[in-house]
Chain A
Amino acid sequence: MSSATLALRLALLGNPNCGKTALFNLLTGSRQKVANYPGVTVDRKEGQFTTPSGKHFRVLDLPGAYSLNAASADEQITREVVLGTLAGEERPDLIVCVSDATNLKLNLRLVLEVRRLGLPMVLALNMTDLAKKRGIEIDLPALQRELGMPVVETVAVQRGGASALIARLEAALPAERPPATGWPSPDIAEVSATQREVRRILAASVREPALDTRVDERIDRVVLHPVWGMLILAATLFLMFQAVFSWASLPMEWIKAAVGALGSLLGERLPDGILRSLLVDGVVAGVGSVLIFLPQILILFFFILALEDSGYLPRAAFLLDRLMGKVGLSGRSFIPLLSSFACAIPGILAARTVANWRDRLATIMIAPLMTCSARLPVYALIIGAFIPDTTVAGVFNLQGLVLFFLYVVGVVSALAVAGVLKLTLSRGAQHPLLLELPAYRWPHARNLMIGLLERARIFVTRVGSIILALMVILWFLSSFPAPPADASGPAIQYSYAGMLGRALEVVFAPIGFNWQISIALVPGMAAREVAVGALGTVYALSAAGNDVSEQLAPMLAADWSLATAYALLAWYVYSPQCLSTLAVVRRETNSWRYPLLMAGYLFALAYAAAFVTYRVALLVTGG
């Protein structure tokens, strides 16, 4: 027998936001996302760990669930894993129920419900650090007796915080794995009876001073206030986009200088020829022009991570519920949509937490209109080249304002599309919200650092792998076949890419795109940032001989009309070309219909918006 079959399968199960993923990370050394709102984990995640005595465990992190009686797709996954009904997934041998020790009144009901399944169980009382601070006294032996299962205390965010659990796992030897069972969902009388049982057990084993909510509620009076709350939300988002531009310029200069230096170094040292062209024009010009946007992406994520960890996001969802209700959504869609600012894919997955299928579908369909971070380099490049870096009204950075405006256009368009979908999808009835608003917490500095490093790693890996590969392919297509001896223009015009660009130009000329842009749009389908890199390479190859690897922006400013630049920005607000997004939509909706519909409507919107922008800008600038 291999060690994989010997390993016991352990599933972490519990209410949303009780610290399952934090515990999972602590046990397995993984870096799954941890944040202070319910519904962070929406898929089963697997990891492994070995106890000091050499016992192997395969650990499953599950989406949080209030009940096995699943109300949304993420809870459904949890239920199926625990019941053993998920295809291709063996039933866990052991369930570690994770409960928030500061909120056992809510958490224990699920424990009792799961206990009825008859699987071996351990209860991990998590957040005992907070419970101690609040003066909550838990009589472990009494609780153990009442529940009839081992109970251990954990602190999932401290090193060594799982030692009691690990010690317990050394000892526990689960019996035979019970076969998959059906689960008769309890009726309301049974659920009420369980609730009374929870209260009885708590009375027998927990002494808890009344919860002091004064600080939280004082904050909430302002943050959830219909007027002040909205102002705070708007100001926060606004600050975020201002910061992306005004804080990033210095580190961007450094990276730009380093890339430029590398380009010149290679240019001087290498003999003139194909290798030099590949490295200088393909790799350095292409990859370097994407890499310099790392600081902006990290600043954006700094804000997103801090907001996620503070407990603010569900509050924003609360504030926006009515507004989103107007277009047939609920506040529940807010968090998936906000995640889409990072990337539409996690956003589309997070839509699993939206219980209502129509709401979920609408959320999925509009997620790509939230400007993802991969589009940031494109925006930033064009804004940097065409919008003057001046200060408006004394404090606001004009480039930051334009960026904010582009994000707003995306959001407004998303609401409009949702409104149209409402006419076809929903039946006008009220949809539930039912969203937990967690206690406020200071963002952990360590969590933030880990999150940012993880982001930087993902971005750099992406640049180093898919983007690099695409750049090399593009360089090849742009360099061959070699131009005829009597060629007058730059060589790239005679290459495969040049031919492709000229063919596409027919389609894109009406919206002001030249053949260089048309080429860049193609690899942009695999990774949007590549459009920037592709422009870098295409222009590096077009400019005969000069060392241009570091000067893409001024070159664009000289080559494009203002109308073209604006049209490209408008195009990228809708930017229909992201293949991985479409693949995920296919998976989540289980049909080709919605990804095709999405690609179609995004392309139509992008083309129309770019067309109108181009024509209007031409009129205004007199071009």
Chain B
Amino acid sequence: MTANDSLSLFDLRIGQEGKVSRAPTTDSGSAADRELALRLVEIGFIDGERVRVVARAHPDGDPIAVRVGNTMFALRRCEAEQVLVAPLTSDIDARQPERMRAAIAAAAPSPANVNPSATGRRCAVPARERRA
């Protein structure tokens, strides 16, 4: 695994394209994590698939809007971090106007200042939960 491979989907910048290098797995984590991983694979996050981050919300750039295949999904950080990607394009999309780029850069963390150990935050209980 190269250093590039260890980037999480959440760490892609706006306009940056990547290739899924490690699809979500169900090896570890709670039942809820496994359900989430399964759903991510079901909607297309499989090895080798191209993905692109189209937008990020405020603050911290969370959630992200990411294109996978022909579909766009909004994912929270804890969901996006289940997918590892290898970045393909390194620069922010050239068509993007300069001042917007600045505004977005302010809103979103660059991969450089994201602590890799902070990844792996888990989402809670997505599915069929028993009712009271």
Residues on A facing B (Cβ under 8 Å): 66-67, 69-72, 76, 102-103, 105-106, 109, 187-188, 191-192, 195-196, 211, 213, 217, 220-221, 224-227, 314, 317-319, 321-322, 330-331, 355-358, 427, 429-438, 589-591, 593
Contact of A430 among B38, B46, B123, B132 (CB under 8 A): B123
Contact of A429 among B44, B59, B124 (CB under 8 A): B124
Contact of A220 among B41, B65, B71 (CB under 8 A): B65
Contact of B131 among A102, A191, A227, A590 (CB under 8 A): A590
B40 CB contacts on chain A under 8 angstroms? 434
The smallest C-beta distance from A60 to any residue of chain B, in angstroms, reads 22
B29 located at the interface, meaning its Cβ lies under 8 Å from any Cβ of chain A in the complex? no
The smallest C-beta distance from A430 to any residue of chain B, in angstroms, reads 4
Contact A213–B67 (Cβ < 8 Å):
yes
Contact B131–A434 (Cβ < 8 Å):
no
Stretch from B3-11, B73-81, B83-91, B110-118 contacting the other chain: B73-81
- Bound-state Cα–Cα, A429 to B124, Å: 6
Residues on B facing A (Cβ under 8 Å): 23-26, 34-44, 46-47, 54-59, 62-63, 65, 67, 69-79, 96, 100, 103-104, 107, 121-129, 131-132
Contact B73–A434 (Cβ < 8 Å):
yes
Contact A226–B58 (Cβ < 8 Å):
yes
Contact flag A435-B73 (CB < 8 Å), given A69-B42, A225-B103, A355-B126: yes
The smallest C-beta distance from A316 to any residue of chain B, in angstroms, reads 11
User: Which B residue sits closest to A102, measured CB to CB?
Assistant: B70
Contact of A106 among B43, B123, B131 (CB under 8 A): B43
Contact A432–B129 (Cβ < 8 Å):
no
- Bound-state Cα–Cα, A196 to B127, Å: 25
5 further A-B contacts with Cβ under 8 Å, apart from A211-B70, A226-B58, A226-B59, are: A105-B70, A227-B58, A358-B129, A432-B124, A434-B76
Contact B57–A226 (Cβ < 8 Å):
yes
B126 CB contacts on chain A under 8 angstroms? 71, 355-356, 431-432, 434
User: Which B residue sits closest to A208, measured CB to CB?
Assistant: B70
Contact A195–B41 (Cβ < 8 Å):
yes
Contact flag A432-B78 (CB < 8 Å), given A109-B42, A225-B100, A356-B124: yes
Contact B26–A429 (Cβ < 8 Å):
no
22 A-B contact pairs sorted by A residue (CB < 8 Å): A66-B39, A69-B42, A70-B127, A76-B128, A102-B70, A105-B44, A188-B38, A191-B42, A221-B55, A226-B107, A318-B55, A318-B63, A330-B76, A331-B74, A355-B127, A430-B78, A432-B76, A432-B79, A432-B123, A434-B73, A434-B79, A437-B73
Contact A317–B65 (Cβ < 8 Å):
no
User: Which A residue sits closest to B35, measured CB to CB?
Assistant: A71
Contact A187–B26 (Cβ < 8 Å):
yes
- Bound-state Cα–Cα, A127 to B73, Å: 20
B54 CB contacts on chain A under 8 angstroms? 217, 220, 224
User: Which A residue sits closest to B55, measured CB to CB?
Assistant: A224
Contact B74–A437 (Cβ < 8 Å):
yes
User: Which B residue sits closest to A211, measured CB to CB?
Assistant: B70
- Bound-state Cα–Cα, A319 to B107, Å: 13
The smallest C-beta distance from B83 to any residue of chain A, in angstroms, reads 12
Contact B42–A103 (Cβ < 8 Å):
no
Question: Sorted from nearest, which 9 A-B pairs have the closest CB atoms?
Answer: A226-B58, A429-B124, A224-B55, A357-B129, A437-B72, A105-B69, A433-B76, A318-B74, A435-B74
The smallest C-beta distance from B38 to any residue of chain A, in angstroms, reads 6
Contact B57–A224 (Cβ < 8 Å):
yes
User: Which B residue sits closest to A214, measured CB to CB?
Assistant: B95
B36 CB contacts on chain A under 8 angstroms? 432, 434
A109 CB contacts on chain B under 8 angstroms? 42
A321 CB contacts on chain B under 8 angstroms? 57, 63, 74, 76
A224 CB contacts on chain B under 8 angstroms? 54-55, 57, 65
Contact of B42 among A66, A76, A217 (CB under 8 A): A66
- Bound-state Cα–Cα, A533 to B47, Å: 63
User: Which B residue sits closest to A69, measured CB to CB?
Assistant: B38
B67 CB contacts on chain A under 8 angstroms? 213
User: Which A residue sits closest to B123, measured CB to CB?
Assistant: A432
A196 CB contacts on chain B under 8 angstroms? 46
Contact A188–B25 (Cβ < 8 Å):
yes
- Bound-state Cα–Cα, A435 to B125, Å: 16
- Bound-state Cα–Cα, A105 to B67, Å: 13
The smallest C-beta distance from A323 to any residue of chain B, in angstroms, reads 9
